[in-house]
Amino acid sequence: MTHKGLEDYELNSEWDIFIGHRGDLSFVSGRDAFEQEISIRLQENVVDLIGRFETTTVLNKAKLYVKRVAREMDEIDRIADIDARKSEDDDSRIVVEVIYDTGEKLIFEE
């Protein structure tokens, strides 16, 4: 699967810019940049809604944010489906799954 020339700073698990082992800024591109942007948008826009709104509303908003990122980054044609559901392990968490046209999946749980 090839992705368009997307590139962004690579972020670490605390959402800070990742510095490589030589002290250089690290970048992500293509699918990695796309998936990083999805994670950022879901974290910024959906996680705060959990517990404050009806679950269906939160899940629909999560899917909407994924679609929006896919359109903005010109990746919408590479996505076969987007699913959002409650976590089986914890009702206060959601799982968002992006299924690519190749069958590969990105799973975001928060």
For residue 59, is it within any domain? yes
- Neighbour-count burial for 20-33, b at 16+ CB within 10 Å, e otherwise: eeeeeeeebebbeb
Percent of the chain whose pLDDT exceeds 90: 34
Our count of domains for the chain comes to: 1
- Please tell me whether the overall predicted TM-score, pTM, comes out greater than 0.75 for this model: no
Pair type for strands 27-29 and 94-100:
unpaired
On the question of pLDDT at 11 being above 80, the answer is no
Rg (CA), the chain: 15
What is the extent of the structural domain holding 17?
7-109
Confidence band for 25, pLDDT divided at 50, 70 and 90: low
For residue 1, is it within any domain? no
**The domain that contains 67 carries what CATH number?**
3.10.450
For residue 2, is it within any domain? no
Place of tokens 């404050």: 52
Amino acid residing at 39: S
| pLDDT top residue among 10 and 78 | 78
For residue 35, is it within any domain? yes
Q: In angstroms, what CA-CA distances link 1 with 27, 36, 61, 78?
A: 19, 17, 27, 9
